[in-house]
Amino acid sequence: MSYANVEDLLLYGPCEEQMGTEKEKWEEYVRNRKDVYDRLTPQHVQHSMISEANWVLRSQYASCEPLGLEIHQGDICFMDFGQAYLNEMGYQHFGLVMALCQKKALVIPMTSNTVQYDSAYDPLQNPNGKMHLMRIGQIEGLNKPSVLFLNDMKFVNTARVIGVKASIPSDDALFRKIQQRMLQIMFAPEKS
C-alpha cells in the first residue's frame, strides 16, 4: 500500500475498487484504533488524532523546507512531537531549537503550564526547584511565561514543525544560559 493509498484511506475510508483483503485489513485497523481511542480520555484522543493526521501528511518529508518553513537556531516553534511514553513530552507543544544538523533539529520542549513553571529551579526565586525545568520568562511573541523541559530534548525531523512563533537570538545571554543548563543536565550525575 502506497503513501497515497494510506492518505486516501485516512481521509475518505476504503473505496469499493480495493481488493477484499486490503479492505478487510483497513476495517480491522479502524476497529482496533476505535478500541484504543475508547480507552483514552477525550483530550488524549484529540491530541492523538491530530498527531496521527500530522504524521500522515508530513512523515514523507525529509525536512520542513518542502512545507514552506525555514527554521534557525533559537527559533521557538509550535510542533508535533507525536505519541509519547510516560515522562516524555508528546503531541503538540512549543519547542526551542538549540541546534540544526542534517535536516534535524535539537529541540527542547516547553510549556506555559503554571504548575511546571512554579516547580522549576530558579537560583533566586526557587533554589529547591526541579533542575530539569528551566524558566525562561515570557518571550516576545508568546502569550505567557514558559519553562523548558531540559530532560526531554531530542533531535527531530524538522517536518514536525508546524510554525515558528518566536525566537531567542543565539547570541543572547538567555540562549547561552540555556546552553549551559542543557549541558549541565546532560552530563551531570543524576541525584536521587
- pLDDT tens, position by position, 29-66: 778 877 777 877 777 778 888 888 888 889 999 999 99
Residue 167 has pLDDT above 90, yes or no: yes
Burial of 125 (0-12, 13-18, 19+ CB in 10 A): exposed
Q: How confident is the model at residue 161 (pLDDT cuts 50, 70, 90)?
A: very high
Q: Which residues pair with 34 in a beta bridge?
A: none
- Which of these, 116, 140, 113, 138, lies nearest to 126 by C-alpha position? 116
54 close to 80: Cβ distance less than 8 angstroms: yes
Q: Is the pLDDT of residue 14 over 60?
A: no
| pLDDT band of 187, cuts 50, 70, 90 | confident
CB atoms within 10 A of CB 79: 27
The position carrying cell 514558559 is 146
pLDDT bucket at 149, cuts 50 / 70 / 90: very high
Question: How far apart, in whole angstroms, are the C-alpha atoms of residue 125 and residue 123?
Answer: 6
Distances, alpha carbon 117 to alpha carbons 69, 87, 109, 120, 190, in Å: 30, 16, 13, 5, 21
Helices H / strands E in the chain, number of each: 5, 8
Mean pLDDT of 121-148: 95
